[in-house]
Amino acid sequence: MSKLKEKWSSPVHNCDLCLTSIFEYGEFLDAKTIYGPWGLICPKCASSSVSVNGVEKEMTVGIGQIYKLDDEGDWAKVGDLNGQPYRRTKES
Ligand SMILES: [Zn+2]
């Protein structure tokens, strides 16, 4: 069974929120933020919460995709948020 992996075809730049190099994480999200715009977001920012009008909210709103750096040096899609805020995968 061959399942064609979806890959990120654009250049990967630093996290839109904290400007940390995405390569430090080996993972990023292309996701809609609580502020409205989409962004290329590092796992740390994506799993953070922010205060919006005094209410604590998740940074991501459950719309977006997760990409991981694979063995070939490509960014392969590993999942969708599917309506759930991003949770950082635990170290195994
Ligand atoms: Zn960040």
What was the pLDDT predicted at 90? 55
DSSP character string of 6-33: PB--SPP-S-TTT---GGGTTEEEEEEE
CA of 3 from ligand 1 middle (Å) equals 30
Distance in Å, CA 4 to ligand 1 centroid:
29
Does the pLDDT at position 1 exceed 80? no
Residue in the block written with tokens 């996290």: 15
Q: Calculate how far, in angstroms, residue 72's C-alpha sits from the geometric centre of ligand 1.
A: 24
What would the pLDDT profile of 36-76 be if each residue is shown by its tens digit?
999 999 999 999 999 989 999 999 999 999 999 999 999 99
Report whether pLDDT(5) > 90: no
CA–centroid distance, 60 to ligand 1, in Å, is 12
